[in-house]
Amino acid sequence: MQYRELAVAGAWEITPQQFGDPRGVFLEWFKDAPFRDAAGHGLDLRQANLSVSAAGVVRGIHFADVPPGQAKYVTCARGAVLDVVVDIRVGSPTFGRWDSVLLDDVDRRAIYLPEGLGHAFMSLEDDSTVLYLCSSGYDPQREHGIHPLDPDVAVEWPTVGRDGRPLEPQLSTKDEAAPTLAEARERGLLPRFEDVQAYLATLDG
């Protein structure tokens, strides 16, 4: 397993070792020891999610109040998505920065983002199937979003799918109505960097 820290501090790209033979492929997509070495703490699994998305579907940018927030460890079991992490921590040296990882059924990478960061992805193929391990359960009262097409965040979403056809972003009604990053900051919805760091320091090492 290879870990590479992304441009947003605390977020990681994970590339597993795959073992293939005529029967198929086997891999470990999460392993506690190397995860702890990279992240500095364990992943307290409280919920596992699965989503299936048509080509062009954009989910996010989503985040949760800290504490407890919601850390996510994400992979794509079928198809392909561009997975994006956004630094929404007010006071962070990289506030507003984003980075991305291609998750697909070829390299079978995963992405980890800790509490306090924004998460989104775009499906590059019909029926792309994404699996999430989450550190806390869904709580609609503590969940928030930022518009994924916010020009100030300026995520470079793909315009062409895996099959070479043009992609048009498809958003849910909720994501379509989400505030911009600036609006979310003005409303006091965003986590503060020092609060996130203090909470992460309480997690087990």
CB 146, CB 96: distance < 8 Å: no
Positions annotated as catalytic residues are 62, 132
Burial of 34 (0-12, 13-18, 19+ CB in 10 A): middle
For residue 204, pLDDT beyond 90: no
**What does the domain layout of the chain look like in residue ranges?**
2-203
Indicate the pLDDT class of residue 203, thresholds 50, 70 and 90. confident
CATH homologous superfamily of 2-203: Jelly Rolls (2.60.120.10)
Tell me the whole-structure pTM to 2 decimals. 0.95
Which tens digits make up the pLDDT trace of 55-71?
999 999 999 999 999 99
**What burial letters (b/e) apply to 165-192, b meaning 16+ CB within 10 Å?**
eebeebbeeebeebbebeebbeeebbbe
**Amino acid occupying residue 111:** I
Which tens digits make up the pLDDT trace of 88-135?
999 999 999 999 999 999 999 999 999 999 999 999 999 999 999 999
